[in-house]
Amino acid sequence: QVQLVESGGGLVQPGGSLRLSCAASGFTFSSYLMSWYRQAPGKERELIASISSQGATINYADSVKGRFTISRDNAKSTVYLQMNSLKPEDTAVYYCNAYRTLFLSKSSNYWGQGTQVTVSS
């Protein structure tokens, strides 16, 4: 079965760092676009970073650009999010997503269960 398992969340002070990991199984990881989303209480889920199947193309939301780095290790079927210079407004549940577009308008889309990141003094 398809599985995405996030880890690495926790409590950190403003200005601190965390590294999130998302371990994938049950599908061909190297064929999928991988993304990190986050959702704060009372807000919609937002896309914060994406990386193409071979890591050639990376995109970030303006809110995290210059502070966060997305990467992937296809040999380990794992995608990472390095978060530096953390701010209280980064507090949210962070979700891993796998996406693949197929021919004839078909697609695959998978989600992890999320990991909590809290930035507070």
Tokens of 12: 């950190």
Tokens of 54: 């071979």
What does the pLDDT average to over 78-96?
98
Percent of the chain at pLDDT exceeding 90: 94
Chain centroid offset of residue 37 CA:
6
Decide: helix, strand or coil at residue 89.
helix
Spatial separation of the C-alpha atoms in residues 120 and 105, rounded to whole Å: 44
pLDDT of residue 92: 98
